[in-house]
Amino acid sequence: MTVMMLKQLLDIIVCPVAACRKPLTLAADEGSLQCTGCRRIYPVQDGIPVLLEDKATMPQA
């Protein structure tokens, strides 16, 4: 999946955490997605966003 396709997905997907549901953005590394609300970072594996709360990481402080 190209970065362009990933950016198109960002128009329709949101953070899967029930208390959040904020939009996701392409993270600085362009290899993961970051929530604009809770700041969780979701990996992208083989071009597929892994939107599972237990697979997300929190950014380093």
Tell me the C-alpha distance between 27 and 25, whole Å: 6
Enter the pTM of the model.
0.84
Tell me the C-alpha distance between 60 and 22, whole Å: 20
Q: What is the residue extent of each domain of the chain?
A: 3-55
Q: Which CATH class for the 3-55 domain?
A: mainly beta
CA 13 from chain centre, in angstroms, equals: 9
Tens of pLDDT, residues 5-61:
667 788 899 999 999 999 999 888 878 999 999 999 999 898 888 999 999 999 887
Tell me the C-alpha distance between 57 and 7, whole Å: 20
Residue-level pLDDT at 30: 79
